[in-house]
Amino acid sequence: MIKRILVGVDGSEHAAAALSHALWLGKRLDATVSGIHIVDIVSIEGSFFHDISGSLGFEPYLDFTAKMRSALQDRGRTLLESFERQCETAGVRHDSKLTIGVIASELCDGAREADLLVLGHRGTNARFTTGLLGSVAESVTRQCSRPVLMTPVSFAEVKSPLLAWDGSERASGAMHEAANLCTALSLPLTVLTVAREQEEGEEIVEQARRYLSSYSINVTYNIKAGQAGEQIPACLKEDGHDLIFMGSHGQSRILEWVLGSTTEFVLRNVGCPVFLSR
C-alpha cells in the first residue's frame, strides 16, 4: 500500500503537474506527500566555472560558488514553502526536504524512504532538451529502486488505467502495484498483452487472470498482435486510457541497445502518466 509519496519540486510546469498528481493520490490514499528540492551541485561546482575563472586570470571562484549556493538554497526554500501551502490547502499530510547533490542520485536516495516517487517528464532545463523525457527523468527511471510515476505536463484525474502485461518478472511487479492501486481507488483495469500468436497471448493472459481474480476489480483483458512499442501507445489512444502500469527498464543495457527498450519508447511517446515498477 502506498503511504508515503516523494515528489520532486523544482519550480517547473512539469514539477507542478507532478505535484498535482501526488496530491491527488495522497488525498485518496491517505498518504503523506514529501516534497524534495535539490540544489544541483553540478550547476555550482561544475567545470564551466572552473574554466571561466581560470581563463580570466583571477580567483573569485570560491566566493562566487558560495554566493550561488546561498541564492539557490534560498530559491529552494521558497519553492518548498509554496509546496507546503498547496499541501495544506489540499488537506494532505506533508513534509519537505532541501538538499544539495546530483539531482538523479538524490531523488533515488530519497525514494528509498518512500513507497512511490512522482516526477515530471522534464524539469527546469526542459527548454534545452528534446522529446518528452529529460535526462534526469531517464536516469531516475533506470536507477530508482522504488516505483516511479512519471507524469506529463498537465494533470487529469485517472479513470481508466491500463496494465502492459507480458508475463515477465518486471511486469509482475507492475501488476501487483496496479491491483493494489486500482482496489484502493475503486478503478477498473484493462490488461493488454502483445504477442505473436493468439494462443501464446492467451497463455500469458491466464497468468494475470489467476492473480487478479483475488482482487475486487473490474478487469478487461485485451490481446494484440505486433510490436509492444507500437501497440501500447495505440491502445492508449484508441481506448482512452489515462494511466499505464508497466515494468521498468531491464538490467541488461546491451540487450536494450540491440532490441530497443519498450519502456523508454512508451515514456517518450505517450501523453499520460506512466507507473513504472521493478
pLDDT 10s per residue in the chain (278 long)?
899 999 999 999 999 999 999 999 999 999 999 999 999 987 776 544 444 444 445 455 556 677 888 889 999 999 999 999 999 999 999 999 999 999 999 999 999 999 999 999 865 544 434 444 567 888 888 889 999 999 999 999 999 999 999 998 889 999 999 999 999 999 999 999 998 888 899 999 999 999 999 999 999 999 999 888 888 889 998 999 999 999 875 444 443 433 347 777 788 878 899 999 97
Nearest to 161, CA basis, from 262, 232, 249: 232
121-130: long-range contacts, CB 8 A cutoff, minimum separation 24: 121/14, 121/150, 121/151, 121/152, 121/153, 121/267, 122/12, 122/14, 123/8, 123/10, 123/12, 123/14, 123/15, 124/10, 124/11, 124/12, 124/15, 126/12, 126/14
The predicted structure's pLDDT at residue 26: 98
CATH for 4-151 is: 3.40.50.620
Residue 14: Cβ within 10 Å count: 25
CATH superfamily of 161-277: HUPs (3.40.50.620)
Instruction: Give residue for cell 509554496.
Output: 82
The predicted structure's pLDDT at residue 90: 97
Kind and range of the H or E run holding 234: helix 228-239
The predicted structure's pLDDT at residue 249: 58
Domain positions in the chain are 4-151, 161-277
The residues, any chain, with a CB within 8 Å of residue 67's CB and separated by 6 or more, are none
The predicted structure's pLDDT at residue 258: 36
What's the Cα-to-Cα distance from 20 to each of 8, 135, 154, 156, 265, rounded to whole Å?
12, 22, 9, 9, 25
Which DSSP letter does residue 192 get?
E
